[in-house]
Each structure stands twice: as C-alpha cells, then as structure tokens.
Chain A
Amino acid sequence: AQTIHQWPVAEIKAVGSPLSLGCTIKGKSSPNLYWYWQATGGTLQQLFYSITVGQVESVVQLNLSASRPKDDQFILSTEKLLLSHSGFYLCAWSLLGGRYAEQFFGPGTRLTVL
C-alpha cells in the first residue's frame, strides 16, 4: 500500500532563518508530486508540482523553492523565512493519467514563523 510521510510534523522558526520541509511517497513509482500551502482554515494554494525527478514547476512566487532529488522525495525550502510563510504545508501525489486525477494528501507540516 502507498504511504506518504511529511517531516517535520511541526516547526517553530524565527523570521530570516532557513527552512527545509520534506515529503516521501512509498509504494508508488513515478508519481506526480505537489506542494500546497494553507493559511489557518483557508484555501489550498498550490505552490509547486513535479512530474519527474529533477523537474519542478512553480505555480506561485512566495520566496520558496522546491526540489525533487529522488523519484519518491519532494523538498520545500527557503533560505530566509518571512512571517507570511506561517501556515500548513501539504504534500500530495497523484498518478499522471491515473484514476481520474485523484490526489492523495499527506498529514501536513504546521509552520509557525515568529
């Protein structure tokens, strides 16, 4: 069975500090991968998507970057956090052309920037 893990579960960071969030999908090869940001109780804003290793497309510019170093791994990072980066970060996967585009979300990482 496929599983999706996100790490860390939660982070409290200072403004201006660096950040790295991770996501791993097990049990599926060559998934499409996505990063979303969600303000508390808010909408899901897609940040990045990737359809293959080494290729990442940016959807919105929020002073964040993403990388896909392995088929099953997606990393979200920034060198300098802003207060506006606080929120809930969600990783998701789907199969290109697979079962009607259903996306599966991870448990999320809660980020608080102080």
Chain B
Amino acid sequence: QQKVQQSPESLIVPEGGMASLNCTFSDRNSQYFWWYRQHSGEGPKALMSIFSNGDKKEGRFTAHLNKASLHVSLHIKDSQPSDSALYFCAAINNYAQGLTFGLGTRVSVFP
C-alpha cells in the first residue's frame, strides 16, 4: 500500500517569492508522480507530472524527483496571489485503485 507524506502543512509566501513543497513516498517501484492544485470550493486539478529523476519545469513551476530517496518536490517561483491553494502530491497505488494523495500543503501568497 503506497503511503505519501507531505510537508510543510502550510506555507505563507510573499508575492514574488519562492514556495517549496516536499513529498516522500513509500513504494520504491513507483513510477508516476503528480502534483495537484485545489482552489477553495473546486475539485483538484492536475498541475504537473514527473516520471524521471531530475527536474521538470513548466513555466513558474519546477518539480524535482529523486526515486532513490523516495522524494519529490515542487517549487513555485515568483509566487502570485492566484497560487494560493491546497497542493497535493500523488503517487500511484495500483492501476485499479489509482493515485494515493498526500495530506496536502496549504499555500497562502500575500501581496
């Protein structure tokens, strides 16, 4: 059974600053990792995926994966108030049950 742990629980970031979110997973055979973002009152939406060791950059967002240390992270550069949301990392549990989600990190960006 895949277990996913996230830190920190919450993060306050000034507008224009960098937000860094961390995640560890338990299954060494995991291959696919996702970051989801959920704004208040909405369903979560996939933000980005990462499947290979190293960095993946999409605009202001960079994900980093290190399978050896069972660690994945997300960095948000030049944070905007619209980035204020709940962020989940996710790793596959099995192909029937789908993704296992972490407990989430609440990011608040203040102007």
Check: A87 CB closer than 8 A to any chain B CB. no
What's the interface size class on B, roughly? 20 to 34
B103→A103 contact, CB < 8 A: no
A59 neighbours in B (Cβ, 8 Å): 97
Known contacts A41-B106, A43-B103, A100-B49, A90 near B98 by CB under 8 Å: no
- B-contact 0/1 string along A78-114, CB 8 Å cutoff: 0000000000001010101100111111111010000
Check: A73 CB closer than 8 A to any chain B CB. no
B97→A46 contact, CB < 8 A: yes
Residue in chain A with minimal CB distance to B99: A103
A101→B101 contact, CB < 8 A: no
Residues of B that sit less than 8 Å from A by CB:
32, 34, 41-46, 49, 51, 86, 88, 90, 92, 95-104, 106
Question: Top 5 closest A-B pairs, CB basis?
Answer: A105-B43, A100-B32, A43-B103, A44-B101, A101-B92
A-B contact list, 25 entries, CB within 8 Å: A34-B98, A41-B86, A43-B102, A43-B103, A44-B101, A44-B104, A46-B101, A49-B96, A49-B97, A51-B96, A59-B97, A90-B44, A92-B43, A92-B98, A94-B98, A94-B99, A96-B95, A100-B51, A101-B92, A102-B46, A102-B49, A103-B98, A105-B43, A107-B42, A108-B41
